[in-house]
Structure 1
Amino acid sequence: MIRRSSVKDCFLVCPVSAVGGGMGQVVSYLMHGSSVDMPLRLVAIDARGPGSVLWSPYYMSVAIGRIVIAAARGRLGLVHVHVAERASLVRKGLVALAARMMGVPVLLHLHAAEIQPFYDRLPGWGRWLARGVFRRADLCVVLGTGWRDWLIDTIGVAPDRVVVVRNGVPMVAAPRLGDRSGPFRILFLGNLTPRKGVGDLLVALASPVLAAADFEAVFAGGGEVDTYRRQAAELGLDARVSFTGWVDRAQAAALTAAAHVLVLPSYHEGLPLVILEALGAGTPVICTPVGSIPEVLDDETTALFVPPGDSEEMARALRRLIDDAALRANLADAGRKLYSREFTMDAFVGRMAALYRELITANV
């Protein structure tokens, strides 16, 4: 057992406000979601800041300053940088560079859903800089084998410096506690944007396939709410669809537990927390097989897959679940078992703690 006075800090560099989305939620779970013993004291620092992105240079500078001061005082054992694409890669790359210059090991944790097309659009010098961000890290953590192969084959990171770690989430409800009376409840939970396939889901809900079905759909999340509210009205869905706006974690958990199905028809994803939370709640899932999703879910067993952008197939999948109680029960049971095997908080936090120990031992 390490004495408390000898424990160094691990700075978790990530958005810590609502703008952090799933990335910020992963960090919150890592810090507070498990009783697993950590070899370092976890401290979240924000390199973006809340509100306008125009303030991000200020918050990035503060984060770098904190790293430099803590490292100079001998209090910093590791910097765990959570990174996405676009501006996040620039900010976090500079933060990681500062840590490396101070002799502090860096763990780079990739959450980006669209990093590959983003990288492909960069000019040559931009790709060179992006490769440098990942290659200079002591270890890169990714959500699935597709990202691992991309970092090794395209970015040139050494294979022994890339590790797959699946996300973990707290169990929402086990067994399922949601009230199942009334209409069939369809839930979309996430940022309302085209990437998430929100418009495709609305078109599916207006399909003749579902015209006679007794359902209600809830779209929970921020983003382009007014745009999709107008689309729902144009499709004649006013009486069947509601938009809650942004919801906190307690509200999201309650909605997940009460839903008959979670639908996530995204075009690009990493490994969405909302899907893992639905598995733990025993809520069946309809989703697209993108990102790391098909690495962990099996079509017709732990989820129903639909092609991105295929609203008619989505409508047919929803109709199947509405009509087939046995299918719903089978998906719920298989989802809970999968969650218990692979996506608990103890499994996720324990894996991260083991990586922390490896890195600080290697850098003693």
Structure 2
Amino acid sequence: MTLYEDKPLRKLNELIDSWQPDLIHAVPYDKTIFQLLHHRHDLVIVGTEPCDGSLRCGWWYSGQPLQEVLPRFNGVHVLSHRALHNLRVEYGWDGPSEVILPPFSFTAPWPLWNRKTPIYRLFFAGRLATEKGIEQLIGSLAQARRVIAPISIDIWGTGPEEDYLKRLAIVAGVSSWINFRGGFASFDKIPFEDYDAMILPSWFEGMPYVFIEALSSGLPTVVSSNGGMKELSGVEALAHFFEPGCQDALVSALANLYTHYAVNADAPDLRRRLVADQFSPVVVNERYQEFYRSILS
């Protein structure tokens, strides 16, 4: 049985009593499952850590004392070895754990990105929130334009920081080269063939789905080295990583993208293959089953 966030506690209890599951997997763990753990002690529960397992991700847990609730879980599923390390060091977690990637598959594969000549146009896609590092992106654009080329950036998404980021672009003197495009229903609704690459400068992440979607679309990516993105087998030859919070590192990663643009342009099929090999639902679901069996045994 898998629980998704924000199910009312009463309905969860009714569902559990009706189904009587051997194991419950909370994807991710959130305030509702924390409440359930406080009220019931007859359940085997595995939780998914959605971020990088550090104390700075506390915004996700809705103010719940994770360090108090975490020991009540029978196991924790994480998206990266970095997250597992952080849970152990910062929260003292020492229970059963497994690093398992999220499953991904196309309902109907969209065409591969195929841009052989750069147009110096990039895009960000995601929630406009502090943890996404868009401030750093805006603050680095003038330097990137001066050092590399007349780069422009489209920002896809909405969120609590939208008005602030628009004002920041004006104050930073780069509003003419940053276009806020608004929300998007799904990744394939973004005209990604009109861009050279996707950029994701997050301060912290788990395994962002937009990164998986970009790779599966064949897109080059410039992403922060936090989270589980850099742990994927073979990904360092197909994406450009930088340490978040360092403007020079971000500009250097962008320079590397364009210096080796021909190599990037020749690898869209390799990026899609990476996703097919490592995020296949068949492979991932078997890993889940193995983890569940180990918990129940």
TM-score normalised over the length of structure 2? 0.81
Contact 1:112-1:270 at 8 Å conserved across structures: yes
Q: Measured at CA, do residues 297 and 307 of structure 1 come closer, stay the same or move farther in structure 2, by a change above 3 Å?
A: farther
In 2, the alpha carbon distance for the partners of 1:131 and 1:164 equals 20
In 1, the alpha carbon distance for the partners of 2:140 and 2:234 equals 22
AA matched with 1:185: R
Task: Give the corresponding residue for 1:12.
Answer: 3
Q: Which moved more, 1:161-170 or 1:254-263?
A: 254-263
Give the CA deviation at 1:272.
1.4
Task: Give the corresponding residue for 2:51.
Answer: 112
Give the CA deviation at 1:213.
2.7
SS in structure 1 of the partner of residue 263 of structure 2 = helix
Task: Give the corresponding residue for 1:168.
Answer: 103
In 1, the alpha carbon distance for the partners of 2:44 and 2:177 equals 52
* Residue of 283, 299, 304 corresponding to 2:240: 304
Contact 1:81-1:108 at 8 Å conserved across structures: yes
Q: Measured at CA, do residues 314 and 173 of structure 1 come closer, stay the same or move farther in structure 2, by a change above 3 Å?
A: farther
Where do 5+ consecutive residues of structure 2 fail to align? none
Task: Give the corresponding residue for 1:7.
Answer: none
Where do 5+ consecutive residues of structure 1 fail to align? 1-9, 15-45, 48-62, 120-125
Q: Which moved more, 1:288-297 or 1:73-82?
A: 73-82
Q: Measured at CA, do residues 64 and 243 of structure 1 come closer, stay the same or move farther in structure 2, by a change above 3 Å?
A: same
AA matched with 2:174: L
In 2, the alpha carbon distance for the partners of 1:305 and 1:290 equals 9
CA deviation profile, 1:190-238 (whole Å, cap 9, x unmatched): 1222321111111222226447735431111112112212222333434
Give the CA deviation at 1:107.
1.6
Q: How does 1:135-214 map to 2 (within 5 A)?
A: 135-152=71-88, 155-159=91-95, 161-171=96-106, 176-177=112-113, 183-207=119-143, 209-210=145-146, 213-214=149-150
In 2, the alpha carbon distance for the partners of 1:344 and 1:210 equals 41
Contact 1:301-1:331 at 8 Å conserved across structures: no
Q: How does 1:63-74 map to 2 (within 5 A)?
A: 63-74=8-19
Contact 2:153-2:178 at 8 Å conserved across structures: yes
Q: Measured at CA, do residues 118 and 337 of structure 1 come closer, stay the same or move farther in structure 2, by a change above 3 Å?
A: closer
* Residue of 263, 269, 272 corresponding to 1:327: 263
AA matched with 1:241: I
Task: Give the corresponding residue for 2:213.
Answer: 277
SS in structure 2 of the partner of residue 326 of structure 1 = helix
The answer to whether structure 1 residue 222 and structure 2 residue 158 are counterparts is yes
* Residue of 210, 215, 222 corresponding to 1:286: 222
AA matched with 1:340: A
CA deviation profile, 1:69-91 (whole Å, cap 9, x unmatched): 2233345454321346xxx4x44
In 2, the alpha carbon distance for the partners of 1:206 and 1:131 equals 42
Q: How does 1:259-274 map to 2 (within 5 A)?
A: 259-274=195-210
In 2, the alpha carbon distance for the partners of 1:182 and 1:147 equals 35
* Residue of 242, 249, 265 corresponding to 1:313: 249
Q: Which moved more, 1:263-272 or 1:130-139?
A: 130-139
Q: Which moved more, 1:164-173 or 1:141-150?
A: 164-173
AA matched with 1:92: I
Task: Give the corresponding residue for 1:92.
Answer: 33
Count of aligned pairs: 291
Task: Give the corresponding residue for 2:284.
Answer: 348
Q: Measured at CA, do residues 320 and 337 of structure 1 come closer, stay the same or move farther in structure 2, by a change above 3 Å?
A: same
Q: Measured at CA, do residues 154 and 233 of structure 1 come closer, stay the same or move farther in structure 2, by a change above 3 Å?
A: closer
In 2, the alpha carbon distance for the partners of 1:301 and 1:241 equals 28
Q: CA RMSD in A?
A: 3.3
Contact 1:13-1:79 at 8 Å conserved across structures: no
AA matched with 2:105: P
SS in structure 2 of the partner of residue 287 of structure 1 = strand
In 1, the alpha carbon distance for the partners of 2:258 and 2:120 equals 7
